[in-house]
Amino acid sequence: MANPSILILAGDGIGPEVMEEVKKIIRWLDARRGIAFDLGEDLVGGCSYDAHGTPLTDAAMARAQEADAVLLGAVGGPKYDALDFSVKPERGLLRLRKEMDLFANLRPAQCFDALADFSSLKRDVVAGLDIMIVRELTSGVYFGEPRGIFTEGNERVGINTQRYTEGEIARVARSAFDLARKRGNRVCSMEKANVMESGVLWRQVVQEVHDREYPDVELSHMYADAGAMQLTRWPKQFDVIVTDNLFGDLLSDLAAMLTGSLGMLPSASLGAPMANGRPKALYEPVHGSAPDIAGQGKANPIACILSFAMALRYSFDLGDEASRIERAVEKVLADGLRTADLMGPEGGTPVSTGAMGDAIIAAMDASL
């Protein structure tokens, strides 16, 4: 049988250097665990625009559709700020999400004990935090029509449309309930049903799916603004949060910062099962391309490495190997190793991107 396939789209900025550390782990799995993948690589974002005049070629899109999982680094950079909207690096990522129909974006916010003092919130508020934001990723105001900048009378008007079908809400709600059953069995759904019709429908459909299919899961509803407030007040009250595309974008950045560093957080974007039973899937760190530190060995590879761990768990049924990686990350942090983004007042041993990856591999070796 052919090995499962992974398409690597390292992208721009720090994307390629953090992905280098993931490749070390992929080689380690092959050498030490006999787990082999067929790896392919292609371009996405600004580097693809530079080479082909588009942030994602049709050929790369087709390869992504065929892969068992896609690993993405990061896209974008100031160099591309002036480009037309249609060819901006971000459009490459949005096209992947939309055409692969990756409707459920899983964004865990987990606070590693060694980093609890790093958060801008007090230690007891964040220590042990382990929540999961499920963000709807293929609809809502990101994709709704009409959109554009139009002229009305003698002035311009910018328009975007928030639009959700019942089916779109129900399927992401199911993803959240399924996940909750494997965790703390609680879901909090967030919208603005007090202001938006799409929010009223969101609340109704989530409740209906719950009552019909998941009565065993504890469900609550919150307005998204109150949710943001509660996330900073006492985040440990949450287990799984399910929300729409735009609120999920905001709330997941907020949740990320609770854990101390954006450089730590992975994500998985999942769609419907393919013929082989695996979900369509793309894994990427939550952080961006950080062009200001690119190429200097300063980037934290942990978010990208943990994203690969999510791939092992959700695409390849290798939860044990995923846990091994997660424990290795915990170990090196407890040992005081710190990339530049993690250097706080309490100090630690400064390490480069590559040295952090090597230390994680050494910890994995020690776990055998």
Question: Is 84 in the active site?
Answer: no
Q: How far apart are CA 118 and CA 97, in angstroms?
A: 32
Nearer to ligand IPM, 251 or 333 (CB): 251
> Do the bridges between strand 186-191 and strand 240-243 make them parallel or antiparallel, or are there none, so unpaired?
parallel
Q: Site for ligand IPM (CB under 6 A): which residue of 68, 136, 249, 321?
A: 249
93 contact choice in Mg ion, ligand IPM, none (CB below 5 to 8 Å, kind-dependent):
ligand IPM
H or E element that contains 118: none
Looking at residues 40 to 99 of the shown chain, list those that interact with ligand IPM (rule: CB under 6 A): 90, 93-94
Binding status of residue 358 toward ligand IPM by CB under 6 A: no
Residue nearest to ligand IPM (CB): 90
Nearer to ligand IPM, 136 or 239 (CB): 136
Binding status of residue 244 toward Mg ion by CB under 5 A: no
Taking the complex as a whole, how short is the minimal distance between the CB of residue 94 and ligand IPM, in angstroms? Answer: 6
Taking each continuous run of H as one helix and of E as one strand, the counts in the chain are: 12, 14
What residues form DSSP beta bridges with 269? 105, 282
Binding status of residue 249 toward Mg ion by CB under 5 A: yes
Question: Is 249 in the active site?
Answer: yes
Among 222, 225, 269, smallest CA distance to 247 is for 225
Task: Provide, for the chain, the percentages of residues in helix, strand and coil under a 3-state DSSP scheme, each rounded to the nearest 5.
Answer: 50, 20, 30
Binding residues for Mg ion, total number by CB under 5 A? 1
Nearer to Mg ion, 256 or 351 (CB): 256
Task: Please give the distance of CA 321 from its chain centroid, rounded to a whole number.
Answer: 19
Taking the complex as a whole, how short is the minimal distance between the CB of residue 170 and ligand IPM, in angstroms? Answer: 22
Residue nearest to Mg ion (CB): 249
* Candidate list 30, 117, 178, 225, residue with the active-site label: 225
- Here the tokens at position 264 are 């730590």
CA distances from 322 to 85, 143, 151, 273, 287 (A): 37, 33, 52, 21, 20
Interface ranges with ligand IPM (CB under 6 A): 90, 93-94, 249
Interface ranges with Mg ion (CB under 5 A): 249
